[in-house]
Amino acid sequence: MRERNGYRYIIKVFEAQWDRLHDETVKPFFEQLKRDTEETYSRRNGYRRDRPGHDALFSYIVFQNVEGLKAALNCHDHGADNRAKIAYFACHGKRGAISAVQDISRTRLKNILAPLTSYDGLYLGACDFVNRKTAEVLLAGTPHLKWVAGYENWTPWLEGMLCDLMFFRLLLSGRFVRPNSKARWDPFGRPEDVAQTMYTIFPAARDLRFSLFYRSRERVCSTLEDHLEAQAS
């Protein structure tokens, strides 16, 4: 896959209004993540003053209903090159649907995503939505998708946000380790490896029932199911 500035992915952030009483937003968190990602890349590869001033590492869009989300997902991303895109949804959730001004069922979400071919994975920062049934519906109906991640149970806003940021930090920059002499970042090859590592370095991910569902040759696998099975054996 061709990369721009060394980044394998771009993250498209889609946020719904949470409610009329609160003004939480994930935007500043991802802005900081972008700054940290660029800093890590520069330290690893040497500071370069000739790097392009614009890069589509992140984009941010607010949506309210099915039509708005569909239009946002279809936007052309300048500077994306051939990198795979990840759609991150920040919204309320419940069994079988995510919530904006209007609810969007997993079936309608699947139908919106079905024609799109540039998205590598979905990360749903929503309570209660991502269980095995939801993952199987989305992966079966959208053959280009490789993985779907999110939470099976209710998740406190801040704890969920920290979990989301840790996942993307590891995916984009790798795991930070400090040997005796010099700090380094060990990269990850696959998103499912990132999810498995989360249970070790961010144990709240397990308590929140965060899971990444991905395709294997035989079935749809769950990182949380694999982790719990390994612990029990």
Q: Give CA–CA dist 164/192, Å, rounded.
A: 14
Q: Give CA–CA dist 169/61, Å, rounded.
A: 20
Q: Are 50 and 124 contacting, i.e. CB atoms less than 8 angstroms apart? A: no
pTM of the model: 0.89
Residue 45 has φ and ψ, to the nearest 5°, of -110, 0
Beta bridge partners of 86: 11, 121
Low-confidence stretches of the chain (pLDDT beneath 50): 1-5, 49-54
Structure-block tokens of residue 51? 């790097």
Q: Are 85 and 117 contacting, i.e. CB atoms less than 8 angstroms apart? A: no
Other C-beta atoms lying within 10 Å of the C-beta of residue 32: 11
* Three-state SS at 163: helix
From the number of C-beta atoms within 10 Å of its C-beta (0-12, 13-18, 19+), residue 4 rates as: middle
Query: So what's the pLDDT on residue 4?
Result: 43
Query: So what's the pLDDT on residue 84?
Result: 79
The shares of helix, strand and coil residues in the chain, as percent rounded to the nearest 5, are 35, 25, 35
